[in-house]
Structure 1
Amino acid sequence: MDRHGWFAQLAIAQTRAGADPAMERFEGEGVRALIALAVAGAVVLLAGAAGFVLFVLTLVLLGNHTLWWRYPRSAIGVRPVPTALLEAVVLFLVGFLVVQMIGALVEAITGVSVMAGLIWLMPLVMLWPLARGVRWDELRLALGWHRGEGVFKEISCGVAGYLAGLPLMGVGILIVLALTMLTQTQATHPIKDQLGIKSVWDAMALYLLAAVWAPLVEESVFRGALFHHMRQGAGIVASAALTAFIFAVIHPQGFVGVPVLMALAVTFALLREWRGSIIASITAHALNNAFVVTLLVVLVS
């Protein structure tokens, strides 16, 4: 029963004679799942069509040299320590492992999960360059922590940029499918084993983690600190590719999930290069995660 979960409950309900409330519940869940998948499919098709148009438009604008890159690489330094941002990235990665170990230890001893609170301390690591002598105005610009051409315009550009990046993500998904068939290995995330959504609070906690914390923190680390550090000595292609690869491999989906995660990360990096501000990248990241979480919540709740 514990091993097979929902499927075991369904099998038991099917063996009972007559009208059974459990079977009616399963039928209702099945209908809801089908509706959710149909709606999600329609959204994906519409978004994909819009994304293809925007992708082609982007290529045309790039070819005509009418798409301006606002990332001010030459204007931003991190004096007096050029490696300060890279140090912050390393501290974040090490600190995250430490926080996970502390959280697991506390939960093992007390039975209380503290990870949800501890991870909100992690953004403080991005202030490390200040301790190394970097001025606040330099750090803020280097990380993209500014309004750009206005918050609402940057958010709109994030939505448009995410849609324009969908064809690239589609290629990543095709590669994932090919790897899955070749290796008989699936890209999975540990969070799927923790989706015991029993209340609106559980759903809110999941949204807070995936659609708020992850976009804010991960974009500041990867498209903020790491991307900026790379751009001081490398071009956009190398910087986007390397930051995307690191971003992908540290996620728990395994090597099979790397192509689609890299496609996402390259899209976020191009948004940072285009807008200068990190707001567009955060918006695209949040939009992607919110869609995935919404689908999961509807299917498993």
Structure 2
Amino acid sequence: MASDHDPGESDQEAPGLPETHRDVRHNWWAWIVIVLAVGWIVVGVRILPSGAESIASQDDSATLAILRLQSQMAIGMSGLQPGQTKELTDQLRPIALAGDETTAALAIVHRFIGGEGDGLRDARNLIQKRSSINGSDDKFLTATEQALTNGVTDLERTDWLDRLGWFGNLFPNPDGSIPDDSKIRARGLLTAIGGSFLVIGAFGAGIIGLILLVLFFVMRSERKMGTAFDPKFRPARVFLESFALYLGLMAASDVLGILLTSRFPEGSLVPFIVSTALFVAAFVLGLTWPVFRGFRWKRVRHALGIHRGKGIAREIGAGFLGYLAVIPVAGIGVAITYLLIMYGEMAPVLEAAGGNEGDPSAEIQTASTPSHPIVGWMSEGGILIKISLLLLAAVIAPLFEEIMFRGALQRAFRSRWRFFVSALAGGFIFAVIHPQGWVAVPALTMMGVGFAMLREWRDSLIAPMTAHAINNGCLILLLIAAFS
């Protein structure tokens, strides 16, 4: 295959020397592939009936898992601050009313916290509200109300556990008692206390990160600290092709996985194996594409940031410190996401004020809490599933995503645009292909911007990979603790 290099280029491959390589000239097709792949991952996959069903199932599972965490906190708060418990459970109503199972789950929590009096009354009101919405499963909701009123046997409880998971433990026995009542409340108390410490710790880490960020910009303005990334280093534009091929095959793996799932019996490993193989192939092709285009691997590796930087240990340390600085940057996006969620919660109130108070569907939250399918898998899976997901989120995802996004895509964008535009564009693509939904896009975009800052600072990908691994690893470990 013909090379895109200048025939008279130097054999010296050190990245610090003046650039003498030419880059690819025309890669308009890469933009088309990226746009189509992003569009398919975000919207197109829902066109396939089996794809829409799969996404809906994953969303329901993740929402139920998120509702479990919030319910555990509500149960814990009922022992600490009973006055705030109703306020907390009322905040969950718009989310719960979006589905039959989530409505049943919150109704069970009402009955558990409030008992046979206020709790059962609130549970019935919630179920009646959901029953009045078109498309609700009245038979299932009626069965839920009867179980809350009359209690369940051990055999019936097993069926409820299969349908609703952890929430099945909260049903009363026929005599009104609840098995493991004190244990469930103690667990809820630990969740509430742990959640409070987590918020305080995150806030403290964010303050430290903000201080580090300010110090960095001050020292940079005084020329006491610089950035290692060289936007003039070549090759660069060829990596847009790499990223396009990577993302295109990722989209193809989604399509193939969905099609195979509909054609093989439930529990078959064939769809998973084929999708995983295509996912790995997408990464390998994206990584090696510049070599096929005629560029030397050593130079490609440096352009991507796959090098030791100032030493592996030092770069890992920079990743730890850098993650603290990423927190306040991501906090900007989190604040926007929070406002979107608040708008979703206020929308029913505004609808009612506009004269739709008679429409029960107006109470359904329009901007749901961002959730990832992995939350549902963590809630339902055993220890092997949890360990596998930890490796996927804290090892494989940081490795693959940082090489492709902060390595290939940022290198291509920085050859055309300044840092902020490049980081924001790359962060946006990074955000929209994640399955948390549009409401999480601001938070994930700014997280991507934070990782891009680390790439700009260090050039080596070790620091952003470390920060990415810390972020994902901590979240997964927290989920393991919460769902154990």
TM-score (norm 2): 0.57
Match of 1:205 in 2: 388
Deviation at residue 206 of structure 1 after TM alignment: 1.0
The answer (yes or no) to whether the contact 1:73–1:231 under 8 Å persists in 2 is yes
Paired with 2:300 and 2:256, the residues of 1 have a C-alpha distance of 29
Bigger mean CA deviation after superposition, 259-268 or 163-172: 163-172
Correspondences of 1:110-125 after superposition (within 5 Å): 110=265, 111-113=267-269, 114=272, 117-118=276-277, 119-125=279-285
Correspondences of 1:16-27 after superposition (within 5 Å): 16-18=175-177, 20-21=179-180, 23-27=181-185
SS in 1 for 2:336: helix
The answer (yes or no) to whether the contact 1:106–1:112 under 8 Å persists in 2 is no
Deviation at residue 42 of structure 1 after TM alignment: 3.9
The superposition leaves residues 55-79 of structure 1 with CA deviations (integer Å, 9 ceiling, x where unpaired) of 22123213322221101222x212x
In the alignment, residue 453 of structure 2 is paired with which amino acid? Answer: L
The answer (yes or no) to whether the contact 2:245–2:282 under 8 Å persists in 1 is no
In the alignment, residue 133 of structure 1 is paired with which amino acid? Answer: G
Match of 2:6 in 1: none
The superposition leaves residues 155-207 of structure 1 with CA deviations (integer Å, 9 ceiling, x where unpaired) of 11111111012222222111111111224302222223322454331221111
The answer (yes or no) to whether the contact 2:406–2:451 under 8 Å persists in 1 is yes
Match of 1:43 in 2: 201
SS in 1 for 2:244: helix
The answer (yes or no) to whether the contact 2:431–2:445 under 8 Å persists in 1 is yes
Please, which runs of 5 or more residues in structure 1 have no aligned partner? none
Bigger mean CA deviation after superposition, 51-60 or 133-142: 51-60
Match of 2:481 in 1: 298
Match of 1:241 in 2: 424
Paired with 1:24 and 1:144, the residues of 2 have a C-alpha distance of 53
Deviation at residue 52 of structure 1 after TM alignment: 2.3
Deviation at residue 16 of structure 1 after TM alignment: 4.9
Name segments (4+ residues, structure 1) moved above 4 Å. 14-19, 105-108
Paired with 1:24 and 1:14, the residues of 2 have a C-alpha distance of 15
Please, which runs of 5 or more residues in structure 2 have no aligned partner? 1-159, 345-365
Bigger mean CA deviation after superposition, 218-227 or 51-60: 51-60
Paired with 1:59 and 1:14, the residues of 2 have a C-alpha distance of 62
In the alignment, residue 275 of structure 1 is paired with which amino acid? Answer: R
SS in 2 for 1:165: helix
Match of 1:29 in 2: 187
Match of 1:229 in 2: 412
Task: Please tell me whether residue 131 in structure 1 is matched to residue 288 in structure 2.
Answer: no
Out of 282, 288, 291, the residue aligned to residue 471 of structure 2 is: 288
Structure 2 vs 1, CA of residues 18 and 275 (structure 1 numbering), >3 Å: closer, same or farther? same
How many residues align structurally?
295
Out of 309, 316, 323, the residue aligned to residue 162 of structure 1 is: 323
The answer (yes or no) to whether the contact 1:40–1:295 under 8 Å persists in 2 is no
Out of 251, 267, 275, the residue aligned to residue 97 of structure 1 is: 251
RMSD: 2.3
Paired with 1:14 and 1:142, the residues of 2 have a C-alpha distance of 64
In the alignment, residue 135 of structure 1 is paired with which amino acid? Answer: R
The superposition leaves residues 96-154 of structure 1 with CA deviations (integer Å, 9 ceiling, x where unpaired) of 12223333444441523425843444421221111111210121011111000011111
Computing the radius of gyration over CA atoms, which structure comes out larger, 1 or 2? 2
The answer (yes or no) to whether the contact 1:89–1:226 under 8 Å persists in 2 is yes
TM-score (norm 1): 0.89
Structure 2 vs 1, CA of residues 236 and 25 (structure 1 numbering), >3 Å: closer, same or farther? same
